[in-house]
Homo-oligomer: A and B are copies of this chain.
């Protein structure tokens, strides 16, 4: 199994899961907008769930609803982030954003329902015992709420409006919440499904998440909007603090490469079995979208 194959397999399983679960629901525009919002994307989070599960002897037939949960959670955050009152983006994953295809009200509701759907997914009995399922709910709620992803968003908004001078530490903390928390949850899902110790994968994902974000900042400066499938060069325009701004382009690339080494080192307990996750860490900083 190579990384490309594992990512493709994860993407296929996740898409089939969404189609199965969502197409059975009431045929209202909000349902269609939910299905639209969960299409495409790299499925990095879903892949991390399925791959960390495999490392702990848990197959995709048991882990899939955890992968769907985190992808639905991630999709909701993108739909709301793209709203005119937030980042005001017209393009996402190479397609018009939900509020452009439908309208803002539908985008708000579809995002809301995707968050609900994420928690509903975690109650599926295939995932395991009630202990395991409630542990997944508890950890995902902490990772995505006011102590995690939303806190990161709030810190981002506060930093822009308060005119504080950002530094590497403050931007690192912000990103550890804004994008890191969900990536960490995804990689910890495997051990959680097996009631095993998540600390090695937690360390892996913390380094991976930060490397991923630095790569995003680099992509914003160097990338091709058509390949990336979203608007680029927006950070400088918005006066956002980025790792490129703080460390310079070369400094940011060095930091990202160091983090990838750190992520790979954290996988030592898994030996050769951790190869696909090592490849994923390298992919995180070499991707074009």
Interface residues of A (CB under 8 A from B): 22, 25-26, 28-31, 34, 76-77, 80, 83, 85-86, 103-106, 108-109, 111-113, 115-117, 119-120, 122-123, 129-131, 133-134, 137-138, 141-142, 144-147, 150-151, 153-155, 157-158
- CB neighbours (8 Å) of A113 from chain B are 145-146, 150
Bound complex: CA A77 to CA B141 (Å): 18
CB neighbours of A31 from chain B (8 A): 146, 154
- The answer for the CA separation of A131 and B133 in the assembled complex, in Å, is 9
Contacts of A141 in B (CB 8 A): 116-117, 119-120, 123
- Among candidates B138, B151, B157, residue contacting A123 with C-beta atoms closer than 8 Å: B138
- In the assembly, what is the distance between CA of A138 and CA of B124, in Å? 8
Partner of A146, one of B25, B85, B147: B25
Determine if A146 and B133 form an interchain contact, defined as CB atoms under 8 angstroms apart: no
CA separation between A31 and B150, bound complex, in Å? 10
Q: How far is the CA of A153 from the CA of B113 in the complex (A)?
A: 11
What chain B residues lie within 8 Å of A153 (beta carbons)? Answer: 30, 109
- Whole-angstrom CA separation of A141 from B120 in the bound complex: 5
Contact A145 B133 (CB under 8 A): no
Contact of A112 among B103, B120, B138, B150 (CB under 8 A): B150
Tell whether, in the assembled complex, residue A105 and residue B86 are in contact, meaning their CB atoms are under 8 Å apart.
yes
CB pair A123–B150 under 8 Å, yes or no, is no
Q: Is the CB of A145 within 8 A of B130?
A: no
Q: Give every chain B residue within 8 A of A30 (Cβ-Cβ).
A: 146, 150-151, 153-154, 157
> Which chain B positions have C-beta within 8 A of A115?
112, 115-116
Residue ID in chain B nearest A85 by CB atoms: B104
- Say yes or no: B116 contacts A145, CB within 8 Å: yes
* A34: B residues at CB distance < 8 A: 146
Contacts beyond the supplied A116-B145, A117-B146: 20 A-B pairs with Cβ under 8 Å: A25-B146, A26-B151, A28-B146, A28-B151, A28-B155, A29-B154, A29-B157, A29-B158, A30-B146, A30-B154, A76-B112, A86-B105, A105-B157, A109-B150, A109-B157, A116-B141, A117-B141, A123-B137, A129-B130, A134-B134
A69 to chain B, nearest CB (A): 11
Chain B residues positioned under 8 Å from A142 (CB to CB): 120
Determine the distance from Cα of A30 to Cα of B137 in the docked complex, in whole angstroms. 22
- In whole angstroms, what is the CA distance A250 to B151 when docked? 50
Structural contact, B123 and A134, CB atoms closer than 8 A: yes
Chain B positions within 8 Å of A144 at CB level: 116
Residue numbers in B under 8 Å from A147 (CB-CB) = 25-26
Q: When chains A and B are docked, how far (Å) is the Cα of A130 from the Cα of B83?
A: 37
Which residue of A77, A86, A134 has the most chain B CB atoms within 10 A of its CB atom? Answer: A134
Partner of A119, one of B76, B105, B119, B158: B119
| A150: B residues at CB distance < 8 A | 30, 109, 112-113, 116
